[in-house]
Amino acid sequence: MTTKINKVMGLYQKVTRYPFGHHIFSKMVSRMAPYFGTVNPYIQTLKPNRCEVLIKKHKKVQNHIGTMHVIAICNGLEMAMGTMAEASIAKHLRWIPKGMSLDYTAKAGSDIVCVAQVHPDQWQTGDMFVDVKAYDSNGVVVVKGHIKLWISEKPIK
């Protein structure tokens, strides 16, 4: 049995077939939530229940010691979570973030890949915890934790 893909996943699959498609899709998402654009994110991978967002290390995302500022990483993690949620959630459900709990585990001295992932069985009404991790270019986890979502049924129109 195949499951029908939702609108966001369908758009991703369509746009990324073209040259610069990942770049274009990343810009489209950043326009929907403009604060994501502040870190110039690049959606590398989007699958149901998983999203990977690259943030390049450059001056505007660095802190006073020359590493990537953790708030820039948090922005990337939230973008990964939100894009994953929009591409994965069932048509009759909706989500809203309720909180974020993160540990800063290492210095972020390189480009960072922000990953948000859930198990398909987690899409139930109530609280849902999305695992998020940020990796440096050597695969070291620099930030890890979860973003708490509230999942509810959409109102009947």
Instruction: Walk along the chain (157 residues) in steps of 10 and give the mean pLDDT of each run.
Output: 72 94 94 89 96 95 93 96 95 95 96 98 97 98 98 91
Report pLDDT for 39: 93
Domain encompassing residue 24: 7-153
Question: d(Cα 79, Cα 44) in Å, to the nearest integer?
Answer: 12
CATH number of the domain encompassing residue 67: 3.10.129.10
Question: d(Cα 20, Cα 34) in Å, to the nearest integer?
Answer: 20
Question: d(Cα 60, Cα 85) in Å, to the nearest integer?
Answer: 27
DSSP assignment letter at 62: B
Question: Model pTM?
Answer: 0.92
N- to C-terminal Cα separation, the chain = 29
For the chain, what's the residue count? 157
Tell whether 97 is covered by a domain: yes
Give every CB contact of residue 151 below 8 A, 6+ residues apart in sequence.
89, 93, 94, 95, 123, 124, 125, 126, 127, 128
Q: Taking each helix axis as running N to C, give the angle between helix 7-15 and helix 21-32, from 0 to 180 degrees, rounded to the nearest 10.
A: 140
Tell whether 35 is covered by a domain: yes
Tell whether 1 is covered by a domain: no
How many domains does the structure of the chain reveal? Answer: 1
Tell whether 2 is covered by a domain: no
Report pLDDT for 1: 36
Report pLDDT for 157: 78
